Chains A and B, each alone.
Chain A
Amino acid sequence: MEKYYRTEEVETIALNKLSMEVKEGEFVAIMGPSGCGKSTLLNILGMLDDPDAGSYLFNGTEVANVGERKRADLRKHNIGFVFQSFNLIDELTVYENVELPLIYTGVASSDRVKRVEEVLEKMQIMHRRNHYPQQLSGGQQQRVAIARAVVNKPKLILADEPTGNLDSSNGNEVMELLTDLNEQGTTIIMVTHSEHDARYSHRIIRLLDGQTVMENIMI
């Protein structure tokens, strides 16, 4: 894949003929210095952005340059997102935030209650279901964000520095959660600066200037 950012005078190469494959059930960490193209790659993998050249096969289907509607549909059924800054909607409670993806995928109301409660229990955040994001600690907010990411049972979770805003204890908890999810069959691709977090993955892909420079298989 190739991706460029252009201004009137400057063209920056974000992804330079980058090629990679992630198998179902894998836990992959992507690392590299700032500006190496990690986030660009994650956005393209999450179908939030299109590559300028190349191909992106998701589950065997070409998704590069498909329409916004199709991408939104693929995204909501198959991908969950976890962000460094949590990105919870401040106006919605914990329960309502987690319920949102189910509403968008048209899950019936009675099913939604069951599934949201199930995932909140699993994330040990049930007791905070009626609180608003601003009333939670960072670790709790990220657990809500993970709950929201997994409530639709996505095949793939994309995590963008999920512990970046957390202390080490909360960070470890989040990484344990992601590992559990991966062990239950969910594919995880995580962008991180932390060698410690990367060690939870099966494989580390290191990027520099938009290219893969090294791959480490974790034993």
Chain B
Amino acid sequence: MFRNYLKTAIRSLAKNKSFTLINVLGLALGLTACLLIVLYVIDELSYDRYNDKASRIYRVNEDLKLGGNRMQYAVCMPPLAKALTTDFPEVEDAVRIKNAGSMHVKKGTENIMEKSVAFADPSLFNVFTLPMINGNASNALAEPNSIVMTESAAIKYFNSTNVVGKPIIIDDKGGYKVTGVIKDIPQTSHFNFDFFISMSSFPDSRSDRWLRSDYNTYVLLKPGADPKRFEAKFPGLLRKYSSSQMQNELHISLDQFEKGGSFFKLNLIPLTDIHLKSSMIGELGANSTTEYIYIFSAIGLFILIIACVNFMNLSTARSANRAKEVGVRKVLGSSRGRLILQFLSESILITFAAVVIALTAALFLLPQFNQLSGKQIGFNSHTLIWLAPVSLFIIAVVGLLAGTYPAFFLSAFEPVHVLKGKLRTGLKGGGLRSFLVVLQFCISVFLIIGTLVVYNQLRYIQNRDLGYDRNQVLVIKNTYELNKQAATFKQQIKQLPGVIDATLSGFTPTSSGRRTSIFNKEASLTDQSKSIFPQSWYVDEDYIPTMGMKLKAGRNFSLQMGTDSTGLIINETAAKFLGFKDPIGKNLYQFDDPKFKKVVTYQIVGVIKDFNFSSLRQNISPVIFQLRQDAGLLSVRVKTKDIPALISQIKTMWHSLTPADFDYTFMDEEFAASYHKEQQTGTIFLIFTSLAIIIACLGLFGLAAYAAEQRTKEIGIRKVLGADVSTIVAMLSKDFIKLVFIAIVIAGPLAWFAMQKWLQGFAYRQAIPWWVVAVAGGGALVIAFMTISFQSVKAALTNPVESLKSE
């Protein structure tokens, strides 16, 4: 019996080639998109799950509120890890990781700059699953100057992974020894280092200070330990260790500190939540957000719905062509149940074909998709483990979902009527079909509006006046390599033709590093409500003109003013936080060194207009500039047509002063990189939205074809009676266009509200312009009309003699 169904199904599909093509390709296209989205979402959700003990690993975060500023840190105090293991029986182990920034690793005579270097405690390999290829995991990082490297790094530097015991030179210092080689860290890790240097090599790691945070600290809880109960013990831990230091350094008790509205707390985040739910200061890498997971899952689901709707609509639309078969089968004794089974088999067969095409297409498109999404997703044995059952599940669910309605609809035909040719209702009585077309176009219009809003916001970000000029600014990194010659280097560069200005500073508005420190409005420093916790950047006197920033009040730093070493320039937001109407000449106070208990008095000499230095998702926070010459970045504003030649000149000058690598970037590139994820998401959004629209139009194309076919005789008669082509096209298009119009009316406001909510995630955003809804609606109408017109015009141009003969 099943063979008979299969045979009929295959032959019926082969007979209606265009229908089959539209249906199978539409579904395959939808499933391909859906599959790629599923791969993306699964990859995002799989971060850090490669760790065998992932469910017991937590990172300790710090939540700090000071002087009205609240900051959340992914880093904690240096002695915290040790205290956790000694004070809490539920802790099995703890490990600290400290990003070492960039270091020069020697290969032969060449010094190669490596940016993936970290210091780590010996317990690293007990907490995380980083399989050791060579070396002993239990003591690889126990001794000072020990280095564990990844397989790739070992091959890069030694052409072998059998390198345990070999010496390696870092930052031109010998004495380091390779003690282990680990497998490369999976891409789905929230940190990715090539070199781990033993923490004992880093003297700062022995610091006992509890009032600073710069070590990423992970804790491995014993099986069965309750993280909530463990977390509840943190206030006591902080009180125990930090009270005395607070008294000594800030001259206040912890109670006084908290009474002033300030606090510092510790909390836990599960390891597997870090990638999607953590965006704090001091992260070990760029994380993502759950927002993208929701958006992509929704798009995937939308596309699948559109593809299924196509299948249902086209199957029921062509029901008139299958009516005779249903009638004959019924007359010959087939029950309704058997017919339902037959049509469901057919639907599952189409879905199976579509899934096979989709899997093949996804396999071929994966490299491009990886490039687009910045991922390294691959089909491997792990993928197959879930992909095989998921594919079967999709075949069953989509096959049943898409086939159920046509199956019940077709099997309900009365043989008496269909065999007499009385059933020509392929496109009549299509209430559900109209609803489904409206649903498809609702989704399409929603996605078009979503894409337009995302792009509009991205364009706004790109073009917004950020309060500084990021164009034509070359940023030379690591100028600390030049030591005291940095200032000379800057002066030499300023003399070069094509250079407008240059400045040495610790930070630029686009650099990733940040520094904060506490200032108080009162010299006593005891009232925390008078404190401010701003970004505190070291800059020189050329910083403001080079960056193109604007002074709102006061003056720039000047080397002629001896007092400017204790001068401050603050931004408008800092002035607001401090409550100064006229900040110029006002003093701020800070401990010079906690051990000397000396208070330094600073005077505000200038106020600059606010500038954006973090994501436009966040509000501008207070910034204070201090005058220093000993910084690590040299920013050069240039104006030349031959930038490569200028860079070459500067590079020659650099190497005349230091053998260290010449590393540079452009400020606008750094800025673009900080919105890379948004750009990437926007592009993916656009591609999948286009796919959704194409699939919806494929369905509409098929429906229009059947509508025209069903009305062939009517078209013939109308033409004989004098109707022209435009009248026929209007007649055939009207019904569909009406449905698309209804979809626009429904989806427009829904999309507007949804995107309004998305925009609320940006502190700086552009309101949704009216034209977005108009363009989306108009676009959908035009696309739909063009799709339908193709069929309508074809039908309208047919010779009426042919049309009437066909009946």
CB distance from A42 to the nearest CB of B (A): 10
Residue A16 interfacial (CB < 8 Å): no
Residues of chain A with a CB closer than 8 A to B658's CB: none
- Asked if B90 lies at the interface with its beta carbon under 8 angstroms from chain A, I say no
| Whole-angstrom distance between the Cβ of A178 and the nearest chain B Cβ | 18
Q: Verify B8–A92 contact, CB threshold 8 A.
A: yes
Task: Say whether B332 faces chain A, with CB atoms less than 8 Å apart.
Answer: yes
Residue of A nearest to B9 (CB): A91
- Give min CB distance, A8 to chain B, whole Å: 17
- Kindly supply a per-residue 1/0 record for chain B positions 364-392, scoring 1 wherever the CB is within 8 Å of any chain A CB and 0 otherwise: 00000000000000000000000000000
The reply to whether B7 and A49 form a contact with Cβ atoms under 8 Å apart is: no
Q: Are A101 and B333 in contact (CB under 8 A)?
A: yes
Query: Residue B495 at the A interface, CB < 8 A?
Result: no
Indicate whether B324 reaches chain A with its CB closer than 8 angstroms. yes
User: Contacting A96 at CB < 8 Å: which of B4, B12, B330, B333?
Assistant: B4
**Shortest Cβ gap from B8 to chain A (Å):** 5
Residue B645 lies at the interface, judged by CB distance under 8 Å to chain A: no
Q: Which residues of A18-65 have CB atoms within 8 Å of chain B's CB atoms?
A: 39, 43, 46, 48-49
Q: Which of B11, B324, B327 contacts A92 (CB 8 A)?
A: B11
Measured between alpha carbons, how far is A193 from B714 in the docked complex, in Å? Answer: 30
| B308-343 with Cβ < 8 A to chain A | 324-325, 327-336, 338
Of B38-46, B247-255, B414-422, B609-617, which binds chain A?
A: B414-422
B1 at the interface (CB under 8 A from A): yes
In contact, B334 and A89 (Cβ under 8 angstroms): no
Residue B15 at the A interface, CB < 8 A? yes
Whether A104 pairs with B8 at a CB distance below 8 angstroms is no
Task: Tell whether, in the assembled complex, residue B415 and residue A89 are in contact, meaning their CB atoms are under 8 Å apart.
Answer: no
Residue in chain A with minimal CB distance to B333: A76
Checking B328, B333, B335 against A88 with a beta-carbon cut-off of 8 angstroms, the contacting residue is B328
Pick the interface stretch among A67-75, A117-125, A197-205.
A67-75
Given contacts A48-B331, A104-B334, A148-B332, contact A83 B4 (CB under 8 A): no
| Chain B contacts for A105, CB-based, 8 A | 333
The answer to whether the Cβ of A87 comes within 8 Å of any Cβ in the partner chain is: yes
Question: Residue B329 contacts which of A43, A69, A77, A100 (CB distance < 8 angstroms)?
Answer: A100
Within 8 A of B (CB), among A76-124: 76-77, 81, 83, 85, 87-92, 96, 100-101, 103-105
Contact A43 B331 (CB under 8 A): no
Q: How far is the CB of B412 from chain A (nearest CB, A)?
A: 11
Closest A residue to B11 by beta carbon equals A91
Count of residues in B whose CB is under 8 Å from the partner chain: 24
Beta-carbon contact of B327 and A87 below 8 Å: yes
Cα of A69 to Cα of B336 in the assembled complex, Å: 9
Is the Cβ of B7 less than 8 Å from the Cβ of A92? yes
| A72/B4 in contact, CB under 8 A | no
Are B416 and A43 closer than 8 Å at their CB atoms? yes
The one of B4, B11, B327 that contacts A100, using a Cβ cutoff of 8 Å: B4
Interface size on A, residues (CB 8 A): 28
Contact A83 B333 (CB under 8 A): no
Chain B residues with CB below 8 A from A72, complex form:
330, 333-335
Question: Inside 8 A of A68's CB, which chain B residues have their CB?
Answer: 336
State whether B11 touches A81 (Cβ < 8 A).
no
Instruction: Decide: B328 and A89 in contact? CB cutoff 8 A.
Output: yes
In B399-457, which residues have CB < 8 Å from any A CB? 415-416, 419-420
A48 CB contact (under 8 Å) in B4, B335, B416:
B416
Q: How many A-B residue pairs have CB under 8 A?
A: 61
A104 touches B11 (CB 8 A): no
Q: Which residues of the partner chain B approach A103 to less than 8 Å between Cβ atoms?
A: 1, 4
Chain A residues, Cβ within 8 Å of B7? 91-92, 96
Neighbouring B residues of A92 by C-beta, 8 Å:
7-8, 11
Taking CB atoms, residues of chain A closer than 8 Å to B11 are 91-92
Q: Inside 8 A of B4's CB, which chain A residues have their CB?
A: 96, 100, 103
Q: Which of these, A39, A49, A75, A87, contacts B328 with CB under 8 Å?
A: A87
Question: Is A81 a contact of B334 with CB atoms below 8 Å?
Answer: no
In the complex, which residues of chain B have a beta carbon less than 8 angstroms from the beta carbon of A73?
333
Residues of the B chain whose Cβ atoms lie less than 8 Å from the Cβ of A104: 329, 332-334, 338
Complex alpha-carbon distance, A129 and B338, angstroms:
25
A72 to B336 Cα, complex, angstroms: 10
User: Whole-angstrom distance between the alpha carbons of A81 and B332 in the complex?
Assistant: 8
The residue on B at minimum CB distance from A44 is B416
Cα A90 to Cα B15 in complex, Å, equals 9
Give chain B nearest CB distance to A92 CB in angstroms. 6
- Report B-chain residues with C-beta under 8 Å of the C-beta of A69: 335
A48-B415, A103-B1 known; A81-B420 Cβ under 8 A: no
Do B419 and A91 have beta carbons less than 8 Å apart?
no
* Nearest chain A residue, comparing its CB with the CB of B336: A68
Q: How far is the CB of A98 from chain B (nearest CB, A)?
A: 10
Cα of A43 to Cα of B338 in the assembled complex, Å: 22
**Using a CB-CB cutoff of 8 Å, which residues 1-45 of chain B contact chain A?**
1, 4, 7-8, 11-12, 15
Q: Would you list which residues of chain B between 165 and 198 have a CB under 8 Å from chain A?
A: none
Tell me whether A101 and B15 are in contact in the complex, defined as CB-CB below 8 angstroms, given that A87-B324, A91-B8, A91-B325 are known contacts. Answer: no
* Distance from A79 Cβ to chain B, minimum over Cβ atoms (Å): 9
The residue on A at minimum CB distance from B334 is: A104
Chain A residues contacting B419 (CB-CB under 8 Å) are 83, 85, 87
Partner of B331, one of A39, A75, A96: A75
Contacting pair B333 A75 (CB below 8 A): yes
User: Chain B's nearest CB lies how many Å from the CB of A205?
Assistant: 21
Complex alpha-carbon distance, A113 and B8, angstroms: 19
For the complex, give the distance between the alpha carbons of A72 and B347 in Å: 25
Complex-state Cα separation, A153 to B325, whole angstroms: 22
Residues of B within 8 A of A85 (CB): 419
Q: Which residues of B contact A96 (CB under 8 A)?
A: 4, 7
| Complex Cα–Cα for A76 and B334 (A) | 8
Cβ contacts under 8 Å, A49 to chain B:
416
Nearest-Cβ distance from residue B345 to partner chain A, whole angstroms: 14
Closest chain-A Cβ to B744's Cβ sits at a distance in Å of 36
A73 to B416, CA, bound (A): 17
Bound CA span A104–B420, Å: 23
Give Cα A103–Cα B328 distance, bound, in whole angstroms.
14
Distance of A91 Cα from B342 Cα, bound (Å): 14
Contacts of B1 in A (CB 8 A): 103
**Least CB separation from A97: chain B residue:** B328
Roughly how many angstroms separate A147 CA and B8 CA in the complex, as a whole number?
A: 20
- Nearest CB of B to A94, in Å: 14
Q: Which residue on A lies nearest to B326, using beta carbons?
A: A89
**A50 CB to nearest chain B CB (Å):** 10
B415 vs chain A, min Cβ distance (A): 6
Q: How far is the CA of A85 from the CA of B328 in the complex (A)?
A: 11
Known contacts A48-B416, A92-B7; A76/B332 CB under 8 A = yes
- Interchain CB contact (< 8 A) of A89 among B325, B335, B336, B338: B325
Which chain A residues lie closer than 8 Å to B333 at the CB level? Answer: 72-73, 75-77, 101, 104-105
A39 touches B420 (CB 8 A): yes
B-side contacts of A46, CB under 8 Å: 331
**Contact (Cβ within 8 A) A89 B331:** no
Interface hits, B211-234 → A, CB 8 Å: none
A101 touches B416 (CB 8 A): no
How close is A106's CB to chain B, nearest CB, in angstroms?
9
Bound form: Cα–Cα A89–B324 in Å? 8
What residue in chain B is nearest A42 (Cβ atoms)? B416
State whether A101 and B332 are in contact (beta carbons under 8 Å apart), knowing that A49-B416, A90-B15, A91-B325 are contacts in the complex: yes
- How many angstroms between the C-alpha atoms of A13 and B333 in the bound complex? 29
Which 10 pairs of residues, A with B, have the shortest CB-CB distance? A76-B333, A104-B333, A91-B11, A101-B332, A48-B416, A87-B328, A91-B12, A91-B8, A43-B416, A49-B416
Query: Can you give 13 contacting A-B residue pairs, CB < 8 Å?
Result: A48-B416, A72-B330, A81-B331, A83-B419, A85-B419, A89-B324, A89-B329, A91-B325, A92-B7, A92-B8, A101-B332, A104-B332, A148-B332
New A-B pairs, 10, CB < 8 Å, besides A72-B333, A92-B11 = A69-B335, A75-B331, A85-B419, A87-B324, A90-B325, A91-B8, A91-B11, A100-B332, A103-B1, A104-B333
Interface, chain B (partner A; CB < 8 A): 1, 4, 7-8, 11-12, 15, 324-325, 327-336, 338, 415-416, 419-420
